[in-house]
Structure 1
Amino acid sequence: MTKFKLWPAIAAGTAAGIIAGMVKMGWENLMPPRTPARDATNPPQQTLENFGVSTEAAHATYSYNGHDLPWPSYLVHYGFSTTFGVAYMVLGHYLPILKLGHGTLFGIGAWAGAHLFALPAMKVVPAAKDQPMEEHVSELLGHMIWMWTIDAVGSKVYERKVEQSNH
């Protein structure tokens, strides 16, 4: 058994978080969790506004190929994803129970903690009972796939980084 190495775990969690963030965005294109009206201000934008960022700044965009894309939302989205990727890779070493189900159980916990409790409490999304079933299904499955991706990518990147550092 190789000794746990923190920096490779951080690098692996960061890489996995970025890739899993892309997977989660792709998932939401297949199964949008919110109606267009509710997505006019998406949860990352609402979170930024709740923390005092102006509506104009929270809704800032850049243009690519004729599409206006919300870069502040992407910063929050990928910040969240990489933070959880790093936490999963580091804490999962010390608490292996977190890795049961290759991240899917952790994803269920992240979904419940965020979308059923924290985000409603912060007034980012409606109370869990007031969210449509489509939102619950999309977010639950999306979080499971997101964390499964973090587990798969993070584990592989960590192994590679440790192997490289041993040579």
Structure 2
Amino acid sequence: MAHEQRALPALPFTFPSIVGAAAGGIATIPMSLFMLAAHKFLPDWQKDALPPEKVTGEVAERANIDLNKPALLGTTLTAHLGYGASMGSLYITFASKLKLPPLLKGSLFGVGVWAASYMGWLPAGKFLAAGTNETQERNMLMIIAHLIWGGVTGVVADQLEKQLGTK
């Protein structure tokens, strides 16, 4: 008897999800630039690695993967852009439905991403970069970075939707 193969159903990716991912990925660039610039103004005793690098290093360590500094930085950049893009996709799915200006709803979503990550899954996973382990200054740096990310995500997503006729 011949065995009939069935194709797996397609993943439910939608064009708006791709728009959100693009907006979130783009927004990760000014966010990261702000983080790097603001990091220089922290007191010397607070100038350890920024949270994305800490998380990436910890994940690699937990997976028993040894990364040299260039590999760690490259992996951190890739992971941070990917996380920003995936959160942008969530933004389109949820926050874009709110009847608020794009800058405001994006900024609010950005703070929500910070809270869910730094006060949610990072402490639950016992990551050193959790907001519960950071100083006020470092948490403020990251909150502002997420306001920047969210605001840029909201504005870029709105503009992309208008330009592409999906809004």
TM-score by length of 1: 0.73
Report the Cα distance in structure 2 between the residues aligned to 1:127 and 1:78, rounded to whole angstroms: 19
* Structure 1 residue ranges without an equivalent (≥5): 1-5, 63-68
Is residue 58 of structure 2 the alignment partner of residue 46 of structure 1? yes
Is residue 46 of structure 2 the alignment partner of residue 35 of structure 1? yes
Q: How many percent of aligned residue pairs carry the same amino acid?
A: 21
**Per-residue deviation, 1:162:** 1.7
Q: Which range moves more in the overlay, 98-107 or 32-41?
A: 32-41
**Per-residue deviation, 1:88:** 0.6
Report the Cα distance in structure 2 between the residues aligned to 1:28 and 1:110, rounded to whole angstroms: 16
Cα gap change, 1:126 to 1:137, in 2 (>3 Å): same
Report the Cα distance in structure 2 between the residues aligned to 1:92 and 1:127, rounded to whole angstroms: 24
Q: How does 1:59-138 map to 2 (within 5 A)?
A: 59=68, 61=70, 70-93=73-96, 95-96=97-98, 101-125=104-128, 128-138=131-141
Cα gap change, 1:128 to 1:84, in 2 (>3 Å): closer
**Per-residue deviation, 1:104:** 1.3
Task: Give the count of matched residue pairs.
Answer: 148
- Cα contact 1:16–1:153 (8 A) shared by 2: yes
**Per-residue deviation, 1:96:** 1.9
Q: Give the number of the structure whose alpha-carbon radius of gyration is greater.
A: 2
Report the Cα distance in structure 1 between the residues aligned to 2:130 and 2:105, rounded to whole angstroms: 29
Question: What is the root-mean-square deviation of aligned Cα atoms in Å?
Answer: 2.9
Match of 1:22 in 2: 29
Cα gap change, 1:153 to 1:126, in 2 (>3 Å): closer
Superposed CA offset, 1:33-74 (max 9, x none) = 893434595222223433x15132xx4626xxxxxx711111
Following TM superposition, where does structure 1 have runs of at least 4 consecutive aligned residues deviating by more than 6 angstroms? 97-100
TM-score by length of 2: 0.73
Report the Cα distance in structure 2 between the residues aligned to 1:160 and 1:100, rounded to whole angstroms: 17
State the AA in 1 paired with 2:98: P
